[in-house]
Structures are given as C-alpha cells and as structure tokens.
Amino acid sequence: MTDGQRVLSVPLSSLFDRVRAAMLFSAYDGACRRLCLMSCLTFLLLGAENLCASVVTVQTVDGRELTGQIDSKTDAESIWIRREEENIVLTTAVAWSSISAARLDGEPVEVAKLADLASELVTEGPVMLLAHHVVDSPREVGVIPAVSYKPVVQALPGPVASLEIEAFLVNLDRDVEPDGLEVLVAAVDVHGQSVPVRGNLYVRLWGDRDVGQVGRVRFEDLQRWSQPVRPTDFEEGVASYSLRFRTVHPEFDWDLMPYALLNVRLGVYGQGNYEATVPVQIREFNPFRDRMQLYERSRFFRDELSQEVRRQNFAPRGAGIQAWSR
C-alpha cells in the first residue's frame, strides 16, 4: 500500500440489535447463544482496549496532519493510522519517510523513536464479521450469516508536483500543409498520478531565423497562445489542445529553422504555476518538398490544395535554380 491510500471500512451496525433479534427464534439452541455472547464480549473487550490506546498525530512533508490510533497493519514501510467515528472506521497509510513531525498523546516524539515503539502501540480495529456457524440440519433456522465487507481502496489525488507536455504538428483545415500544433498536457501529483485541474495555459513558441549572413541567426518569440483549462478537458489524466499558427507560417517562411522550442506554463488555481519546455518540429522533414523548394521555389504542386498555391501561381520549371544563381 502506497503513501496516501486510504481504506474505508464499515463494520456491522447495531450488532446488539441483531443478536437480540436472533435470540427470539425458537430454534436458536444454547450453543448458538453462547457463540453470539462470545462475539459480543470480544467486541466490547476490543472497544475497551481501543479506548485506552495511545493517540498519535503525524504531520507529512506535503502539509497533511493525521490523528488517530496506530493500526495493526503498520509495518516497517508505513504507519497505518485508524480513526473511528459513529460506526465508520477510516484507516490511512503514511510512509515513514514522508513524516516530518509526530506527537504521541500530545507530546512531541521523534519519528525514529515512534517507529521503534509502533509495535507496542498497535491496536486491532473493530470486529468486521460474526463467527461462522456450521448448520447441522437444513431445517435449522435463525442463524445469523457471516457478513464480510470488502475494504474500498481509494488513492486520493495530491497536490500537483510537475507538468508533463508533448507537442507535434497537425493539420487543422482542408489544405495539405500543417496549420498548428497539438499540445498534450498532464498535471502530475506527488504520487506520480495524472490529475485533472482547473486553471489557465500559457504557451510560447521560440524559434531562430536565418538573417541572410553565413553563420548568423536571430532568435525570436514567434507566437503566443492562452487557453483556459477545465477538469472536463482531461481524459485519462491528459488534456489536448489545438493551437493554430496565426503570426507565423513555417511551411512558407523558409528563413525559419524547422525546429523550435515550445514553452508551456500551467497556472493551477490555488496551487501556483508549473512550466515545461520541449523541442518541437514546426516544418515537416520531407526531402521531396525540400528539393522542390530548392529548385522550383515552392514546396507544393499547382493542383495541390494549399494556401501558397491559392495565393500565387506555380513557378516555371527551373525558376528556382535561376533565382539562386543570381
């Protein structure tokens, strides 16, 4: 069981009411009555023991504070803290390594010393089921069946610890060239799980441009985007956003280098800002179109549906070679 996992268990409610109702059956023999009485006494003894058990309070490195009794599930890796209220038992596992401070019966205690004393301070939780009773005859009635409740294990999401992103070129309209970037965003919590968040996304595209001199480039802030982020945007912990090129068109702006950097900042409400930067390709690697660009001064054919072809006529054969030779 990892840090932060909780086990929520609900014991049998109104145990004594069930026992009294069962004893009204005429077929309930003396042996069964003694069995039920032993179960009740066991329940009372365990309850009395828990009333005298020590109370521990731990504070974790991520700011949580847990108070309760040390459960018997405690081991060398984690301490299990049990809290009981109104027939509800809430048991939480906390790794020893994630505890920053601790108190035992209200007095401060070192974490290492608490770990050494844990084996002496553990207590058992309440009885979860009645003992099994073997039925000798199918006609025997009035036996209370054993009921077992399976614990519900739920990993509670923690605060966001980091941001993971991925980006790639996409075609967002009916022509053939890519028109923008698809950005995948995942907010990762302290347990390594992707969690949905609410906030705002700020994206910047940084690139470099050939300024026409050998060995000289100019680094530019090519374009910026902003995007609201909602929990419903996340599917299996990942949100996807399409960002269209508006002020830059890498397929037609040949001075731009084909690779750039994408910087993403995620502002999470109530938690702060998280950033990540990844390299991204802004013009597809295509040797055929690169040769067309070199010799014909165009990366597209005349009958291809392209923004460039709609804007200007296809260059005559060899025009690119003559232009580069001048």
Residue 131: φ, ψ to 5°: -65, 150
Length of the chain: 326
Residue 220: φ, ψ to 5°: -135, 150
Residue 34's pLDDT band (boundaries 50, 70, 90)? low
Nearest to 183 by CA among 212, 226, 123: 226
The total of other beta-carbon atoms located within 10 Å of residue 291's CB is 12
Mean pLDDT within 293-297: 78
Radius of gyration, alpha carbons of the chain: 34
Residue 163's pLDDT band (boundaries 50, 70, 90)? very high
H/E stretch holding 39: helix 30-51
Q: Which residue has the higher pLDDT, 183 or 139?
A: 183
CATH code that applies to domain 5-155: 2.30.30.100
DSSP 252: T
pLDDT digits (tens, 9 = 90+) for 57-94: 988 888 788 888 888 888 888 888 888 776 677 788 88
* CA angle, residues 284, 288, 294, in degrees to nearest 5: 95
What is the Cα–Cα distance from 44 to 220, expressed in whole angstroms?
75
Domain 160-285 has CATH 3.40.50.1110: no
Predicted pLDDT at 280: 95
Q: In this structure, are residues 156 and 150 in contact, taking their beta carbons and an 8 Å threshold?
A: no
Does residue 38 surpass a pLDDT of 50? yes
Predicted pLDDT at 326: 36
pTM of the full structure? 0.48
Question: Could you give the C-alpha distances from 94 to 74, 81, 123, 223, in angstroms and in order?
Answer: 9, 8, 17, 45
Question: 117 has which bridge partners?
Answer: none
Query: Which ranges in the chain are annotated with CATH 2.60.40.10?
Result: 160-285
Predicted pLDDT at 251: 82
* CA angle, residues 207, 288, 184, in degrees to nearest 5: 40
* CA angle, residues 137, 142, 145, in degrees to nearest 5: 90
The total of other beta-carbon atoms located within 10 Å of residue 63's CB is 8
What is the Cα–Cα distance from 296 to 319, expressed in whole angstroms?
6
Query: Which ranges in the chain are annotated with CATH 2.30.30.100?
Result: 5-155
Nearest to 171 by CA among 311, 284, 87: 284
Nearest to 15 by CA among 185, 144, 162: 144
Mean pLDDT within 153-178: 84
Does residue 43 surpass a pLDDT of 60? no
Q: In this structure, are residues 160 and 188 in contact, taking their beta carbons and an 8 Å threshold?
A: yes
